Amino acid sequence: MVRDDNNIKFADEEQNKPPSERVPQFAEDLEISSEDTRTTEVLHEIQKRPWLNLALRYVSAILVVILAFWLYSALTALFGPGLPTYILFYPAIIIVALIAGLGPGLLATIVSVMMAIIWIIPSSGQFTLRTPIEEIGVVLFTSIGIMISSVSELYRRNRNKAAAYDKEKALRETRREKEFLADILEHASQPFAVGYPDGRLGLHNQAFEQLTGYTTEELHTIDWSTTLTPIEWREMEKKRLDELNRTGQPVLYEKEYIRKDGSRVPIELLVNLVLDLKGNPEYYYSFITDITERKQIETALKKSEQILAEAQHIAHIGSWEWNLKTGDINWSNELYSIYRVDPNTFTPALSSFADYMHPDDEEYVNQRVQLLSKGKSQNFDFRIILDDGSIRVLNTLAEVAEFDKNGKPGIIVGINQDITERKEIELKLNENIKKLAQSNKELEQFAYITSHDLREPLRMITSFLQLLERRYHDQLDQDANEFIGFAVDGAKRLDVMTNDLLQYSKISSQKKEIIPVNFEHVLKHALENLKVQIEESNAIITHDPLPTINGDKQLKVQLFQNIIGNAIKYRSEKPPKIHISATKEKNQYLFSIKDNGIGMSSKHLEKIFTIFQRLHTQEDYEGTGIGLAIAQKIVHQQGGQIWVESEPGKGSTFYFTIIIKE
């Protein structure tokens, strides 16, 4: 790097130095003179020609003496003779000696003596004085002039030394400051570079090399406007630099750099302009920021906004923001779609919001809005009437997002979801539920009546068949007696089935007494009801401590009795072992009843809870297939769930949950 006329110039060999050696030169390059341009040019011209400097000093001495003589003559003409001869020459000699030095001071003394002898002191001939006094005066003036010149020279030299010392001190301080700033710039994490209008790259720091991937030598051989700048960014950059050249104000813009490896890096540049002596652009210096992370965040944000917009569109959810201070309301695109209005022509406002409100919902919505403006979160439904006359149902969920300095709501945000179709489905579902409930009620009533009314004819049929068997047993052959036995047995089984069906229908209709139920007592009563089966099968029944839960005691006894009875019935050749336990899970208890019976295949696990569904024949195991269906209905009626885990030959474990009710 070299300097010409106090302007920055760059040489490739300086940039080739290692960073540690480049800092002092870096500091020198940052220096730009603030002196007047013409004065600088004159001083440089004088410094280039020493003889011119010498001539100017001595000529100035003669001119100052002539000026003193002219002033003396003017004063004499104005006030008359009598003015001391050398009165104005002394200041002239002092001025010349102080400014121009000893030689010009002595010359000024000699010229002053000559001018005084020739034009001021009366003489008797050429350079001849008339009196000794005048001769003494000349000698004395000359001596004083020499003394003044010598003293002035001594003073001038001391003054110059002091000035030189001060200047050197100032230069050292300035140099240190500039080297400090240059060192900061050279090792700064932010890239810095100087570029010329013709595309050359000049001064730059290490961060710039790291950003571009090029070395110093390589950067001095490339064109920043083409090698580093992708073609699609060049037109934009040209416009911004033209603006900089026109206004002189720094410009800030984004573009990309093509790195040495071919990859691209997004950057932000703050570009400044430096003009030459003629006012033309000389070079640009730029502070550069790698905005890769910012661009990634912007991309992620745009993607999130896009996903949010798509999600809002799919779910028919529009978001909004209400500034209570300014009254401004902002809608998302989907909210415009919900109201079926054009974002370019429709301006969201409270008044326009009210225009679409269903008249029957206005008072209710106004109450909610008042609560919302007081800082209370709201969740409510309302109806709107669109421009085409159709009615839509919206759900609003809103809350305060920001409070002002006084603690009052400042900004409220919320979402509106179009739930029209959901409301229609809910309405139809409620209607179907009512119809289903009515059908179930009628079905249960029918089952109750049927099972109740069937029992009387069944008992009569059974009685007459048994009477027929007793009276005519000896008169009938073996086949007839066997047929009568089959009929009696079928009638008995049908009576049991109707009785079970009657019990099944009573579960929903009978009045329930909700009291604290101790399941220790429930199990005890169930085992008492199963006493005969337990004794016949030699069953061993154990249990963990059981809880007390609010509910209907009789139904719980029937639940335990049916499941335990089922375990005893479907036992293996070994005596049945049954264990009951209960564990608390949040707001419910999980019960388990485990046995060592014959087990079942996984494909039958759901079938066993279906009414009248049996996995075995009547000859293998007696029963109607309704016991577990009753157990399931009891559990479901209490809001719980029931299921079974089983494997053939390994027994079964029945699980059911009972909700804890206050």
Look up the CATH number of domain 513-659: 3.30.565.10
pLDDT confidence of residue 250:
94
pLDDT confidence of residue 577:
93
φ, ψ of residue 528 to 5 degrees: the values are -65, -40
Specify the fold of 189-296.
Beta-Lactamase (3.30.450)
pLDDT confidence of residue 2:
34
pLDDT digits (tens, 9 = 90+) for 582-620: 999 888 999 999 999 888 877 667 777 776 555 544 444
pLDDT confidence of residue 466:
74
Task: Please report which confidence band the pLDDT of residue 101 belongs to, taking 50, 70 and 90 as the band edges.
Answer: confident
Task: Please report which confidence band the pLDDT of residue 142 belongs to, taking 50, 70 and 90 as the band edges.
Answer: confident
What is the average per-residue pLDDT within 26-30? 49
pLDDT score of 558 more than 50: yes
Task: Please report which confidence band the pLDDT of residue 7 belongs to, taking 50, 70 and 90 as the band edges.
Answer: very low
Q: Where in the sequence of the chain do the CATH 3.30.565.10 domains occur?
A: 513-659
pLDDT score of 454 more than 80: no
Helices (H), 530-654: 531-537, 553-569, 627-637
Task: Please report which confidence band the pLDDT of residue 155 belongs to, taking 50, 70 and 90 as the band edges.
Answer: confident
Rounded percentage of the chain residues whose pLDDT exceeds 90: 24
pLDDT confidence of residue 611:
67
DSSP symbol at 607: G
pLDDT score of 503 more than 70: no
pLDDT digits (tens, 9 = 90+) for 261-286: 999 999 999 999 999 888 889 999 99
pLDDT score of 29 more than 70: no
Read off the amino acid at residue 123: S
pLDDT confidence of residue 196:
93
pLDDT digits (tens, 9 = 90+) for 504-519: 655 655 556 778 999 9
pLDDT confidence of residue 254:
94
Q: Give SS3 for 256.
A: strand
Which secondary-structure segment (H or E) carries 598? Answer: none
Read off the amino acid at residue 605: L
Could you tell me which residue, 466 or 206, shows the higher pLDDT?
206
Q: Identify the CA nearest to 115 among candidates 165, 63, 153.
A: 63
Neighbours of 574 (CB within 10 A): 9
What is the average per-residue pLDDT within 395-420? 88
What is the average per-residue pLDDT within 449-459? 60
> Residues 403-412, buried b or exposed e (16+ Cβ, 10 A)?
eeeeeebbbb
pLDDT confidence of residue 620:
47
Mean of all residue pLDDT scores within the chain? 80
Give the max Cα distance, the chain. Answer: 206
Q: How many CA atoms lie within 13 A of 645 on its CB side?
A: 6
pLDDT digits (tens, 9 = 90+) for 205-219: 889 999 999 998 999
| pTM: predicted TM-score of the whole model, two decimal places | 0.40
The tokens 């630099």 sit on which residue? 241
Asked whether 339 and 355 are in contact (CB, 8 A), the reply is no
The CA-to-CA distance between both ends of the chain, in Å, stands at 90
CATH 3.30.450.20 fits 314-418, yes or no: yes
pLDDT confidence of residue 130:
59
Q: Where in the sequence of the chain do the CATH 3.30.450.20 domains occur?
A: 189-296, 314-418
Could you tell me which residue, 344 or 501, shows the higher pLDDT?
344
Task: Please report which confidence band the pLDDT of residue 1 belongs to, taking 50, 70 and 90 as the band edges.
Answer: very low
Rounded percentage of the chain residues whose pLDDT exceeds 70: 81
Could you tell me which residue, 385 or 113, shows the higher pLDDT?
385
Asked whether 309 and 332 are in contact (CB, 8 A), the reply is yes
pLDDT digits (tens, 9 = 90+) for 227-236: 999 999 999 9
Asked whether 604 and 630 are in contact (CB, 8 A), the reply is no
Task: Please report which confidence band the pLDDT of residue 451 belongs to, taking 50, 70 and 90 as the band edges.
Answer: low
- Alpha carbon of 295 to those of 253, 259, 290: distances in Å? 14, 17, 10
pLDDT confidence of residue 293:
92
- Alpha carbon of 171 to those of 25, 26, 39, 179, 353: distances in Å? 15, 16, 20, 12, 72
pLDDT score of 242 more than 60: yes
Q: Where in the sequence of the chain do the CATH 1.10.287.130 domains occur?
A: 422-510
pLDDT digits (tens, 9 = 90+) for 369-388: 888 888 889 899 999 999 99
pLDDT score of 661 more than 70: yes
- The listed range with the strongest mean pLDDT (465-474, 548-557, 602-611, 613-622) is 548-557
What is the average per-residue pLDDT within 543-572? 89
- Taking the C-alpha atoms of residue 614 and residue 270, their distance in angstroms, rounded to an integer, is 85
Read off the amino acid at residue 360: D
> Which of the residue ranges 122-136, 244-258, 316-330, 459-473 would you say has the lowest mean pLDDT?
122-136
What is the average per-residue pLDDT within 532-553? 91
- The listed range with the strongest mean pLDDT (12-21, 432-441, 464-473, 627-636) is 627-636
Could you tell me which residue, 269 or 349, shows the higher pLDDT?
269
Specify the fold of 422-510.
Helix Hairpins (1.10.287)
